[in-house]
Structure 1
Amino acid sequence: MMKKALASFLLLPTLAFAQVELKTEMFEVIEKQQANGTSKVEWVTPDNIIPGDKVGYRISFKNTGDQPAADIVLNNPVPENTIYVDDSARGANSDIVFSVDGGKQFASPEKLFIEVNGKKVPATAKDYTHVRWTLTSALPAGKDGSVQYVVQVK
């Protein structure tokens, strides 16, 4: 039996007793200057998001079942009126790939192409429509984790 949970992402645990709970959180991503002259990136509760701001999405997951959850795949769209921030997707123990065609096909960045004026050209982060994480190992019962990415508002 396959359990599925759909929100703005897709989750596919394959074991009958695996139950994975999902939670998506949105943050404003800001850079704060430190007293020593360095800067630090912080994820804070958004107050007022305007064009140019960066928004971080964190998708948390927890196996609430009594069996390991295998073959977990998380798909998240790059929201309309935003651009994916290059190299911002993170997720421990996961393979990360992207789509440039609305989530129909996924590949690593160097294998993604778009058509411009009838010519096939390499895609860039601004062309990404979706981010996909595939967990590389089963999530043990009772364990949790998270993945994340950042976009910039147009």
Structure 2
Amino acid sequence: MRTVLFLLLAALIPGPAFAANQVALDNHVFVERVLTDAEGKQRILLEEPKVVVPGDRLVFVLNYRNAGAQPADKFVITNPMPSAVRFADAGDTRPFVSIDGGKQWGLLSDLSVPMEGGTRRAAQPADVTHIRWAFQNPIPVGGTGKLMFRGVVK
């Protein structure tokens, strides 16, 4: 049982995110829990994933830091979706996504999936295989930031 749980948790950790230039990345994953206190007020807690089950909402956090000696121009982060997780959202950011293993990119709302018979359907969050953020402004030397996306355990 412990081996199975470990393998499931390992499948939830995103593959290494890749960034341009000398940008250091640090990835973390949390389980999002909603707790209701005695007064009926709901609070969202982020916990380290010890046990996860299908349907659990996960929050993936990508911290970045320009560790180089020059501004990081044309800064891009590409993160594969863990195979055991369905993409849910990326908060207020509007990353490009891929639904074909990273071959083509676009906003989820602009992508479509080929079907049998030559028809197409609108891409859904479950189709996402990779997420990409492309920054318009250089990241200054020592500059830091954080990105996040949510997923649901399949």
Q: Higher helix fraction: Structure 1 or Structure 2?
A: 2
| Alignment root-mean-square deviation, CA | 1.8
Q: Is 1:58 matched up with 2:85?
A: no
Segments of structure 1 that go 5 or more residues without pairing to the other structure are 1-6, 14-18
Distance 1:49 1:27 in 2: 10
Aligned residues: 139
Residues 78-93 of structure 1 mapped to structure 2, 5 A cutoff: 78-85=81-88, 88-90=89-91
User: Are 1:116 and 2:124 matched, yes or no?
Assistant: no
48-57 or 33-42, which moves further after superposition?
33-42
State how far apart, in whole Å, the 1-side matches of 2:96 and 2:43 are.
Answer: 27
CA deviations on 1:88-144 (whole Å, 9 max, x unpaired) are 2147xx651111101111101221000233311111111111111111211111110
2:17–2:77 contact (8 Å) kept in structure 1: yes
Q: Percent identity?
A: 28
- Contact 2:30-2:58 within 8 A present in 1 as well: yes
1:10 and 1:66 mapped to 2: Cα distance?
19
Q: Distance in 2 between matches of 1:76 and 1:34?
A: 35
Check if 1:129 corresponds to 2:93: no
More strand by share: 1
1:34 offset after TM fit, Å?
3.9
| Structure 1 position 8, deviation (Å) | 2.0
**Corresponding residue of 2:16:** 8
The 4+ residue runs of structure 1 with deviation greater than 4 A are none
Q: 1 CA distance for matches of 2:109 and 2:121?
A: 11
List alignment gaps of at least 5 residues for structure 2.
Answer: 1-14
How far, CA to CA, are the matches of 1:72 and 1:80 in structure 2? 26
Cα distance in 2 for residues equivalent to 1:34 and 1:70: 46
SS at match of 1:65: coil
Q: Following TM superposition, by how much is the alpha carbon of 1:36 offset from its aligned partner in structure 2, in angstroms?
A: 4.3
Q: 1:133 to 1:34 in 2, by over 3 A?
A: farther
